[in-house]
Structure 1
Amino acid sequence: MTVALWMLLVVVWPAVAHARDGAGPETSTITVSATGRVVCPPDHVIATFGMETAGRSLADAQRRNHAVMAKVMERLRSLDIAPEHIQTSSFTITPQYRPSPPRSSGATPLPPEIIGYVVGNTVTVDVRKPEQMGAVIEGVLAAGVNQFHGLQWGLVDERLAQVEALKQAAASARNKAQALSETLGVRLARIISVNEEGRLVQPMPRLARTMAAMEVDGGTAPVSPGEIQVEASVTLVYEIAPN
């Protein structure tokens, strides 16, 4: 017991500091930090997917892309995805050139010849019912989507979770300060400063199968939302005084 107490004193003593406020008396302080964590299920998920269509002319490639996009929108409407939660995040047009034939040294290169176009369209969907995510992926795949860029789970309003994590962190920091003051034989006089910060830790789910594999066997995308972890850290500086 004596050894344990001595080790505790050695570890925590650097947290006790002395400060001088201008010409006033010296002030002794204790600085403590703690982190609070709140874990909760996500209540929405952002999915990003895209489609590329090719055509010998730009008009043909755009027409094909528009046809796929119309089917995608129809599928999303059938799942009650609100229009304001669907956004085109990128649109690209890429010319395709005929490969240059071999030429002898010193010959004048031929000008590039466009033989077609590829039109790309990337769409971001905010799904407010995470349990629908598997059906959303299956639906857009059936509509003609051929690219999938991932999922991002989150909370529509994370403020309540942040406040709860902050309360936990503050209580834990206060308990640490009380334990230190009792061990060192001093009392906590007042709080001099409070600093806090928070962050959101998101899960990183992966699809168990590729979109091509799902297209072959017609299965529903096996998507697991996991949990969202909200963290908040608090640092308290206490003035201490003799008992």
Structure 2
Amino acid sequence: MKKIAFMAAMLAVTAAGMAHAEERRITVDAAGVVQAAPDMATITMGVTNEDAQASNAMQATSEAVAQILKRLEGMGIEDRDIQTRDLSLSPVWTGRNSASGDKPEISGFVASNNVQVRVRDLTQLGTIMDAVIQDGANNFGGLSFGVQDPTPLEAQARAKAVAEATAKAEQLAQAANVTLGEVRQISEQVGGFHPAPQMRAMADAGGVPIASGEVSVSVTVSMEFEISD
């Protein structure tokens, strides 16, 4: 019985020591943000046609998309930068909400084909958009800017985040009158790209006017420091 009591006491002391050791930590979070001019844009666009016959609606849509793809190829867009995102054929109903109680009927069909295109030469962006509209594009699902190689920006943002976190930990240690020790743990979360408020207008003669602005990449780090005394 004495042996059991002794072991229980030792476990309690060990647990208390571990809790005390865990308390002797300084944990901080910090974010690093880097802004840069984009060098790539992603457009989602497509063609939609309606006709009484499903085959006619799909044929008209397919012909327009084929012309758009041919145009993009001629403007230097590579196959790897073009991807079909949505292809659909849906009926158009009439009489669904009729107060007379008439039976709903299919009056036609809507065919839609949307593609996502990466433009790596931003000087062509406005001209490309103008050209595909002339070729029949009547759906635009979005335009976003980015960079082709985010690695250097992420490295800069990461370094800024670590420096900021270290500075915070040093301030906390000084305020608490303790000495900051070694880093015990560090983790990060990359926040991705976001539009930044600074805007740079891009003039495209004869094309759709585009403002590329800047993009920002953020990295958030969480660091845990030991208290050395």
TM-superposed deviation, 1:238? 1.8
Q: 1:70 to 1:178 in 2, by over 3 A?
A: same
Query: Any conservation in 2 of the 1:90–1:121 contact (CA below 8 Å)?
Result: yes
The 8 Å contact of residues 200 and 228 in structure 1, kept in 2 or not, is answered as: no
Aligned to 1:228: 215
Rounded to whole Å, the distance in 1 between the matches of 2:25 and 2:44 is 51
- Residue-by-residue CA offset, 1:136-189 (whole Å, 9 max, x unaligned): 210110101112111122233323222221111111211222233334332122
Residue 240 (1) aligns with residue 222 (2): no
Identity of aligned residues (%): 30
**1:39 to partner: Cα distance:** 1.0
Instruction: Report deviation, 1:96.
Output: 3.2
Relative to the length of structure 1, the TM-score reads 0.73
Q: 1:178 aligns with which of 166, 170, 177?
A: 170
The aligned counterpart of 2:71 is 75
- Give the 3-state SS of the residue equivalent to 1:202 in structure 2: strand
Q: CA deviation at 1:47?
A: 0.5
* One-letter amino acid of the structure 2 residue matched with residue 78 of structure 1: G
- Give me the whole-angstrom Cα distance separating, in 1, the residues matched to 2:178 and 2:93: 80
Give the counterpart of 1:168 among 160, 164, 169: 160
* CA distance in structure 1 between the partners assigned to 2:64 and 2:196 by the alignment: 29
Q: Partner of 1:22 in structure 2?
A: 15
Do the aligned partners of 1:203 and 1:225 also contact (CA within 8 Å) in 2?
no
Matched letter for residue 15 of structure 2: G
- What are structure 2's unaligned runs of at least 5 residues? 1-12, 198-204
C-alpha spacing 1:137/1:181, structure 2 compared with 1 (3 Å): same
In the other structure, the counterpart of 1:118 is 110
Task: Show structure 1 runs of 5+ residues with no match.
Answer: 1-19, 206-217
Aligned letter for 1:235? S
Provide the secondary structure at the position in 1 that maps to 2:184: strand
CA contact (8 A) 1:152 1:204 kept: no
2:25–2:227: 8 Å Cα contact kept in structure 1? yes
Structure 2 Cα separation of the partners of residues 32 and 182 of structure 1: 14
Give the superposition deviation at 1:99: 4.7
The alpha-carbon deviation at position 46 of structure 1 amounts to 1.2
Measure how far apart 1:227 and its partner are: 1.4
1:188 aligns with 2:184: no
